[in-house]
Every structure is written in C-alpha cells, then in structure tokens.
A and B are shown apart, each in its own frame.
Chain A
Amino acid sequence: MTLRLPRRGLAQALALIVILMVDRVVSPQFFNLHLQDGRLFGSVIDVLNRGTPVALLSLGMVLVIATGGIDLSVGAVMAIAGATAASLADAHSLPVVLLAALGVGLLCGLWNGILVAVLRIQPIVATLILMVAGRGIAQLITEGRIVTFTSPDLVWLGNGAVLGLPTPVAIAIGMLLLTAAVVRGSALGLLIEATGGNARASELSGVGTRTMILAVYVWCGICAALAGVIAAADIMGADANNAGLWLELDAILAVVIGGTSLFGGRFSLVLAVAGALIIQAMNTGILLSGYPPELNLLVKAVVVLAVLLVQSPRLSDLSGIMARWRSKKP
C-alpha cells in the first residue's frame, strides 16, 4: 500500500511541475520571492494563497466523495460563514467570531448529513437544497450589501503572516495535517473508504456507516466555513452574492484531479490539495500571461482535460497496445 502511493501521485506531481514550468515561461519572474512587510511576496505565494479556499474545500469534499457522496453546498456555506464573521467582526473578539462562523458551518454540514445519512436523500439533491438556499441566507445576513469590517484580528486571518507565509496558507497546512492525523492516524480513513466502497457490507461488518456519513458532511461544512471566513478576511468584507460562487465545482475538480473516484471507496488528502494547487497554478498563470480574458475558460478546460487524460487507465492501456503494435512491425 505504502509502496503504491508514490506511483498514485505521479500524474499530479508531473502536472503541477509542468504547469509551474509553463507559468515560468509566460512570466519570467514567476519564482522570484522577496519579503514585503514580513510576508513572502511573489507569484508562487499567490498560487498558494489564492489556492487556499479551494484547498480547504477539497479537504472536506474529498472525504464526502470517499463515502460516495458529494457536497454542492460548500460555496454557499462559504458565503454564510463569511457573512456571519463580517457582521460580528467589529463588535466581538476573534475567538467568538470564529466560533460563530465555524458553528454555522457545522450546522450546515449537519443539515446535509442528516438529509443524506438519516433521510437517505441522494447527496447531489440533498446538498443542492443548501446550495440554492444558502446564498439567500447569506444575503439575508448581509441585507444584500457588502458588509465591511476593520477588526485587525480578522483582517490578519486573510492578510497576515505566520513565519513569512500568508496566514491562509499556514491555516491550510494546519488543516491538512490535522485532517490527515485524524483520518489516517486512526482507522477512521479506512472506515470512510469502506462506507464508500460498499455501504451494506460495511454496515454488516459493524461499521457505523450512518455516523461516518454524518461526520464527513459536518467536517466538510466546517472546512467550507473556514474557507469562507478567510475569503471575507481577504477582502475585509463579506460579499454574499459572489463569495465562493462556483467554488464547489472547483473543489470537486480538485478532488477528481487528485485521483479520487466519484464512486467513493478510496481517497487521498494530499493529492486533493495538490489538485487545488494545480487549478490555482493554472489560474495564476492565465492572469500573468496577458492573454485576453475570453480565453480563460478555454485554457482551463484544455489543461484539465489533459491532466485527467494522463490519469485515465484506458489511455495507458491504449499506449501499451500501441507500443506493442509498433514493436511487432518490422
């Protein structure tokens, strides 16, 4: 198992390296770094920093997908959590603001979890409800305006630095380590994979599949809330209309690029985060390139297709057949 891991990540590592190299070509100063106000400054840091929200979302999403589910509501949960944090920021201390925002995320996750695990509604439908309603809830909190705040503590979450790294990046690394420690340091990861692999068989062999499913949606909600707080802290305001808009799709894409099957049954946290970085490295590259914005989505689609093709088992079979066919020819 441990021996197979490096091979599993090969496609993602290659894709990330190739994209970073392309970024270096379109923008020669891509790898330049310097300190600016005690914080590292450069395009690579931008990739990490801007990739944080999707990386955090993918940490929750990958576990949900591992159980065979999906969570479409994460973008809306980001908006709700951001709105909550922004409206409390100037009147309360950071711990209160964070607890409230993450608490809201937990409740959203619990709602999704109950719909899926207890009421047995199909995940895509169950989470669609909050995806649609959630943005409305966020707009109710902000009354349709962009709620701005000046609380330096909350602003630090978005724009501060920890050991030179932007705070969001440090938070994302912390969350990755925490999630990995919890699910891979115990049998939890295996139980989640078992639930996704064959829920009935797992149930019969004593796995609490209902609890597993409930737990992954709750964790997904908390991760989304954290991403929402960071997104709000970044622009010193909560924009309920736009915060996290369509990011659920980027998060799912990150998980898929990370080699996790949408059918569930296996997952990799590190590769999901790598998927998020691949997406962001591509986005940043497009912005640096100076191509007209009409090409943005096209370039993105082509790159994603290429990354997924490289991973396709059929394609490697096909190239093997081609090689054999060629060697047979005199």
Chain B
Amino acid sequence: MTFKALLAASATAALMLAHSASAAQLTIGFSQIGSESGWRAAETSVSKQEAAKRSVNFKIADAQQKQENQIKAIRSFIAQGVDAIFLAPVVASGWDAVLKEAKEAKIPVVLLDRDIDPSGKDLYLTAVTSDSVHEGEVAGDWLAKTVGDKACNIVELQGTVGASVATNRKKGFDTAVAKHPNLKVVRSQTGDFTRAKGKEVMESFIKAENGGKSICAVYAHNDDMMVGAIQAMKEAGLKPGKDILTVSIDAVPDIFKAIAAGEANATVELTPNMAGPALDAVIAYKEKGTTPPKWIQTESKLYTAADDPQKVYDSKKGLGY
C-alpha cells in the first residue's frame, strides 16, 4: 500500500515536473455519469466549452450510469497524473477508497451537480451544485411578486414521488408561498417529470377546478411536465401564460419556445454550467493556493419573456438537450 502510494506520488511528481516545464496548461479529468437526460448531455457540452475558454486540457470519461466505471476512470486519471479530477457522482456512497487514492496522489477532486455522503467531506476540494430548495423558492417568489395581492389558486405538478429533487423543489416553493396568505396550493399531484404525465395530470386538474377557471397559476417541478400541461390547457380552450400563469424549473430549450410564444411565463434555470465555477476554483487553488468553500452554489437564474426567450432558445438548442 505504502509502496503503491509512493509509486503514485513519484509518478505524479514526475508528471508535475514535466508540466511545470511546459507552461501552466492544466489537465483535468472529468468522470461524467453518462447521458441519461438532455440536461446531462448539455452539461457535458458546456463543460467542454468552459474548459476550452480557459485553455484547459479536458478529458471526459462517460461512465454509462455505473459507479464501477467512474471508479475505473478516476483511477486512470490518477495514473495519468492529471492536475484535478471532476466527478459527477452517480450515487452518494462508496467513494471513500478511490477518493483517498486521489488525495494520496495530491490530486484535488471537485464534485459536480451532486454531493456525496458526509463521511467523505475531507476527501474533496469543493462541490459545485445547485440548491433545489432555492430553485423552488425563486419560482415561488416570482409568482408572489407577479400575482401581488390578488387571491391565487395554484396547482402543482410534482416530480417523481420520493426523488430528492422533487421533495426539495416542493419544499422551497411551499416556503416562499407560505409568506403570502393570498397564494394557496389547491392541488398537487405527481407528473413523474414527463410530458405525457404532466399533460394527463393537468387535464384532470382543469376538470376538477371548474374547467380551469379557478386555477390562477401552475407550478411544475420541471419544464417537461409544463410543456405537457401547456398542451392540456390549450386543448381545454384556456390560454396558458394569460388565463393561467406558469412557472417551472430547469430552463430546457422547449420552454423558451413556449415563453417566446406567450404560452409560458417563467422558468428557473438549473444551469448546465457546473464546470465553469469548478474550473475557476481549481485554477485559483493551483495558482494562488486559495482554498474554495466546501460548497459552491450555482446561480438559479429566473427567465421570463423579458429575457429575449428566442435568443436563449437558439443558444441552448445546440447543447444536446
């Protein structure tokens, strides 16, 4: 074990020497989960762009949703003696051993998008994640501001029951809305994060709420469900975005098309740019030795019709969503 560590350390030292000779171009390895969703694909392509912007040599390993592939990738990054490792962990536990190896090799690890179990806190440099409770709050605050003092009945399309993102986005929204007694969530059902279920659930909400006349706003835990809900409202002869306000989370391209068409009002971005802040943190750490905070929270930016939705749509379209 000690011999192995020594070997790894000396290999790293040799590589670092080689590196310092050839200017300060950093090499960073990124163990990505896979491409299970459009957002994930966008995160991968944005990461490449951000690395290119900072002229960092960026290596991506696609783990195809398997932790053992991620561990293999991290080991190979350590063997290659990269300057830092980015990890988007597929699960929260089981990282201690491999992260200890990275620590012994003095390679800083940055977590992207997801956190790991508390036991591993001293094993990574920092985690760049969004705060899904905060996303829900941003959505709730926008609605409260837009509605003003008017009484407003809200229907909610929840994500998959039990998913932490769904629980947190609900919690944040409920907190924001609780401050305004005129806002009330009258119905809440799961749409499983999908367009088809979002549409089906919205159809029944409309029927249960007096043909949709008593609904003032829809809050969906993701944009896909909202896209489905918008279709349901249109088919019921309602005007989404006017008769019924909409606010959802994620900021996928298709919701900007709806905002541009006046059929949706607002979306809160889950930025695919997790690598940008992570790269900045690593560069500052390497060059100036500044230790970043343990958690870097990404911005949950709110987009409405005032943010040139068509332009945002065009810029996001090519990212792989």
Contacts and interface: CB of A to CB of B under 8 A. Distances in A.
A145 B203 CA distance: 25
B286 to A, nearest CB: 34
Looking at chain B's contact residues, the main secondary structure is: helix
Nearest to A292: B188
B254 A146 contact: yes
Contact of B204 (A41, A159, A235, A284): A284
A237 B190 CA distance: 20
A294 interface: yes
Given A146-B254, A293-B161, A287 B204 contact: yes
B6 interface: no
B237 interface: yes
A284 B205 CA distance: 10
A296 interface: yes
A27 interface: yes
Interface string B172-205: 0000000000000001111010111101110111
A242 interface: yes
B236 A293 contact: no
Interface in A209-267: 231, 234-237, 239, 241-243
A6 interface: no
Contacts of A39: 235
A146 B237 contact: no
Given A36-B236, A37-B235, A242-B196, A287 B38 contact: no
B207 A235 contact: no
Contact of A148 (B188, B201, B237, B254): B254
Interface in A7-42: 27, 29, 36-37, 39, 41-42
Contacts of B208: 27, 29, 287-288, 290
A293 B158 contact: yes
A287 B189 contact: yes
A235 B190 contact: no
Interface in A63-87: none
Contacts of A293: 158, 161, 188-190
Contact of A288 (B35, B38, B207, B210): B207
B231 interface: yes
A43 interface: yes
A37 B237 contact: yes
Contacts of B241: none
Contact of A41 (B197, B200, B236, B320): B236
Nearest to B186: A290
A146 B225 CA distance: 13
Contacts of B224: 146, 239
A46 interface: yes
B228 interface: yes
Which of A145, A241, A294 is the most central at the interface, judged by chain B CB atoms within 10 Å of its CB?
A: A145
Contacts of B201: 287
Contacts of B320: 144-145
A144 B195 contact: no
Contacts of A36: 235-237
Nearest to B198: A235
Contact of B199 (A235, A241, A296): A235
Contact of A144 (B41, B227, B235, B254): B41
Nearest to B158: A293
B207 A234 contact: no
A161 to B, nearest CB: 11
A159 B231 CA distance: 10
B196 A239 contact: yes
A243 B207 contact: no
Contacts of B190: 293, 296
A39 B234 CA distance: 13
A235 B231 contact: yes
Contacts of A27: 207-208
A241 B197 CA distance: 13
Contact of B35 (A37, A144, A287, A290): A144
A55 B14 CA distance: 67
B321 interface: yes
A46 B203 contact: yes
Given A27-B208, A36-B237, A146-B254, A231 B38 contact: no
A329 B203 CA distance: 54
A277 to B, nearest CB: 15
B161 A294 contact: yes
Contacts of B196: 231, 234-235, 239, 242-243
Interface in B24-53: 35-38, 41
Interface string A276-292: 00000000100110101
A315 B58 CA distance: 67
Contacts of B236: 36, 41
Contacts of B187: 290
A234 B68 CA distance: 39
Interface string B146-165: 00000000000010010000
Given A46-B203, A159-B231, A235-B195, 10 more contacts: A36-B237, A144-B320, A145-B320, A145-B321, A235-B199, A239-B194, A239-B196, A287-B204, A290-B187, A293-B190
15 contacts: A27-B208, A29-B208, A42-B207, A46-B207, A144-B37, A145-B321, A159-B235, A234-B196, A239-B194, A241-B36, A242-B194, A242-B195, A242-B196, A292-B188, A293-B161
Interface of B: 35-38, 41, 158, 161, 187-190, 192, 194-197, 199-201, 203-205, 207-208, 210, 224, 227-228, 231, 235-237, 254, 320-321
Counting from the closest, the 10 A-B pairs by CB-CB distance are: A287-B204, A293-B190, A242-B194, A235-B195, A288-B208, A43-B207, A288-B204, A36-B237, A293-B189, A293-B161
